[in-house]
Amino acid sequence: MSPTADDARREAGTTPAADFETDTRSLRAQYWTTEPAELLGAVTEHAAEGGGLLAKAEGGPRRALAAALAETRLLAGRVQHHGLKDREGAERSFRQAREAADEAGDPRLGAAALGQLALLADPSGEAGAGMLAEARALADRGAPDGRVTAWLAAVDAERAAGAGENERALRLVADAETALTGAADDEAAAGWLDWCTPTGLGVLKGRVQLQAGLTGQARRTLLYSMTTLAPDEHAQRSLVYLGLAAIEAAEGEEYEACGYACRSLEHIEACGDVLGVRAALHAYLHESCVADLYENLFPSA
């Protein structure tokens, strides 16, 4: 009689639940390097597997599986929202992440899911504000985590900027920066919350500063953010270059804006546009250098 998959796992010292958690971490790492449609297919299949395993699990393994499933659903929602611009799909995934986080008894995962849902809501509406307040209350129930605190402050800043409350948005970004700095060496901080980074906050801060007419400050913010990036962080670098292009365009410096837009496109080619930056570059297509490079990189776009 041939050995079963479970027999092989026992011999290797692993379990289906442990394998699922390992694969979850692997998929999370692929977010920055894999085309959104390709990654979403893998993540969707992985989530279906997790749902099947969860239905059979009990006790501690069930909670661990539910946490990994919540993280998987969060990843799916991020790909749908940022990579594919599928708001309905993203909202569904984030709600499923919240349900799985509740099953896992993990307030931090639940707070993160609610924060993502708040980002999808009308920035001036009560629904999003209510979700953010619920997220903060939920986060307070878990172990203190500066990274989660920073993420929720960033969400609040994003919403404030969307409502035109630039001064409040900048105060909230400063709060997020302080919280994230405090979490830098915290081993207990949520490792899966890898999308809340100093560079990401810098891009948000620069965008709000530009919106507030503080172009000089916005330029300095983004140029500093560029110095924090590793050479292979193409996705984040494309966002920074796009922000710099917007700053130069706002100041009427079309040549400089064109140059930054071209650099953004080059990094999109390297990373596969995992953050959906390409669509935002349409504003620069009237510039011949951008249009030519765009056509060379994306002839079918």
Record the tokens describing residue 33, joined without a space.
Answer: 């390097």
Residues of the chain with confidence (pLDDT) below 50: 1-13
pTM score = 0.86
Q: What is the pLDDT of residue 1?
A: 36
Q: What pLDDT is stored for residue 10 in this prediction? A: 40
d(CA 220, CA 24): 37
Distance CA 242, CA 206 (A): 11
Tokens of 187: 């081993």
Q: What is the pLDDT of residue 61?
A: 87
What pLDDT does residue 300 have? 62
pLDDT at residue 187 in the model: 64
Output the pLDDT for position 67. 96
Residues 173-202: tens digit of each pLDDT: 999 999 998 776 666 678 899 889 999 999
262 residue type, one letter: C
What pLDDT score was predicted for residue 207?
A: 93
pLDDT (0 to 100) of residue 130: 97
